[in-house]
Amino acid sequence: MNDYTIPQHWAHYSATDHAVWKTLFERQTALLPQLACREFVEGMRALPLSAEAIPDFAALNEVLMPRTGWQVVAVPGLVPDEVFFNHLANRRFPSGNFIRRADQLDYLQEPDVFHDVFGHVPMLMHPVMADFIQLYGEAGLRAQRIGKLTELARVYWYTVEFGLVTELVPGEAGIQEALRIYGAGIASSFTESGFAVQSPSPHRIGFDLERVMRTRYRIDDFQECYFVLDSLDDLLALARIDFDPVYERLNSGPTYTPADVLATDRVFQQGDGSYARSRLPVAA
């Protein structure tokens, strides 16, 4: 099977490409220590990432591989699902080798090297996320064979891409619980980083597997709903779940929109929907 990998061609990046990286990198490294979870910030700092240049994947892998057995491989853009899952199942994280243009800093159609490397690789330094994403890759291959990819993809979306986690942090009234970012889709976005944690608009709801697998998501705008883990360790239990009985239950019952809040939800914050209402309605 063609695995879609290509050489990164690091020497081909232009001065403009590196300058775009620098802008994105400086914004996020200033912002995330206050908004991202401890594990993300530690991973970000332990990797050979700097404002000066787009990272060389070979240098990244020298640090990443000994830590969790993962490596970053270059691909030209989005790859077919089966190829993607096969990489993940083998602890290879496919990263777009291109970078967005300077006039696209906050908008991306396809994941680029900033999203894929800066957003994802810090969490791949964490053993729990390292195991979770590998097992997700295996689950993805199976879900594809049995026609359950839509439901499974919602798990990835609401964890690896847009997950929040609670963390104890020092506050004015002593140690308090705060919501922190671990999802790459948020962590690589300047505007969504603040939105996800601080905006009154979106819901923040306790993570529940079946609830998440019944919830559609938006790919074209900020999320209207984020799901919150109590601890990153919860991902390990999630990865070990036998999905077959869950898929069975999902064959009947409702599907939810991101705007829904259920009586059974563990609600951290009920959003007021103000941002979503200010946007054109788009089918979720």
Residues at the site binding Fe ion, with contacts judged by CB under 5 A: 184
Q: Least distance (Å) from Fe ion to the CB of residue 179? A: 20
Closer residue to Fe ion (CB): 36 or 184: 184
Q: Least distance (Å) from Fe ion to the CB of residue 81? A: 14
Closer residue to Fe ion (CB): 52 or 106: 106
Cβ neighbors of 199 (< 8 A, separation 6 or more) are 222, 271, 275
CB atoms near residue 6 (< 10 Å): 11
Closer residue to Fe ion (CB): 35 or 260: 35
Helices 127-146 & 81-89 angle (0-180, nearest 10): 140
Q: Give φ, ψ of 185 to 5 degrees.
A: -65, -35
Closer residue to Fe ion (CB): 124 or 271: 124
Query: Could you tell me which of 160, 166, 179, 269 has the C-alpha nearest to residue 224?
Result: 269
Residue closest to Fe ion when measured from CB atoms: 184
Helices 243-250 & 149-156 angle (0-180, nearest 10): 110
What share of residues in the chain are helix, strand, coil (percent, to 5)?
50, 15, 35
Q: Convert 192-216 to b/e letters by CB count within 10 Å (16 or more is b).
A: bbebbbeeebbbbbebebebbbbbb
Instruction: Report yes or no: 193 and 187 within 8 Å, Cβ to Cβ.
Output: yes
Closer residue to Fe ion (CB): 117 or 260: 117
Q: Least distance (Å) from Fe ion to the CB of residue 185? A: 6
Q: Least distance (Å) from Fe ion to the CB of residue 219? A: 11
What does the alpha-carbon distance between residue 158 and residue 223 come to, in Å, rounded to a whole number? 10
Q: Least distance (Å) from Fe ion to the CB of residue 9? A: 21
Closer residue to Fe ion (CB): 187 or 228: 187
